[in-house]
Chains A and B, each alone.
Chain A
């Protein structure tokens, strides 16, 4: 069974940093691209970042470029999102999701982890 389990969220002050993790199981993690997507309370979905299976290709949404860093450790089956210079508008539920072929979109999602940026 495919499982993606996020962790690392919490309450953080504006300007501070936080690192999210997503542990994968039930599939060959190193074969899949991985994404972070977020959803602000009561709002729609916003794609945040993508990393290819071997970390060769990385893309970011403009809203987080220069502040967030996506990375992965295939030996640990873990995806990361390092978030710095956090703003109140980064408050959201953060999901990790996998992708194989772009035409197929994102097929499995984690349960999400909440990040609240507030003083």
Chain B
């Protein structure tokens, strides 16, 4: 199975900060990487797919990138509404595997 190592597990940042969350894949997953945002009591919402493609309706301050086996979700300027858990998912092979999640809070 492909392991997705997500870091950090929690993150506290100030409004306006640039925030980056990373997932490292244990095997080559190409661009088969999705980022989800999950607010308390809500279902996950797809934010980024294909590693770098922004979901329709997602603010442009969100972006996805890849460097080798490292995949990053970046928020260019943190806003209060971005407080949530963030999860990555690899979908190149079954079983699909998620990262362990990152809890993002405002400092």
The answer to whether A binds B is yes
Contact of A103 among B36, B49, B100 (CB under 8 A): B49
Do residues A110 and B43 form an inter-chain contact, with CB atoms below 8 A? yes
Q: Which residue of B lies closest to A109 (CB)?
A: B43
A83 within 8 A of B: no
Please tell me the size bucket of the interface on B: 20 to 34
Residues of B within 8 A of A112 (CB): 43
A27 at the interface (CB under 8 A from B): no
Q: Is there contact, CB below 8 Å, between A44 and B87? A: yes
Task: Name B residues whose Cβ lies closer than 8 Å to a Cβ of A.
Answer: 30-34, 36, 43-46, 49-50, 55, 87, 89, 91-92, 94-101
Complex Cα spacing A47 to B98, Å: 8
- 18 residue pairs of the A-B complex, CB under 8 angstroms, read A44-B87, A44-B99, A45-B44, A46-B98, A47-B96, A61-B95, A95-B44, A103-B32, A103-B49, A103-B50, A103-B92, A104-B91, A105-B32, A105-B33, A105-B34, A106-B34, A107-B49, A108-B46
- Could you say which residues of chain B place their CB within 8 Å of the CB of A110? 43
Collect the chain A residues with CB atoms within 8 Å of residue B94's CB.
Answer: 50, 59
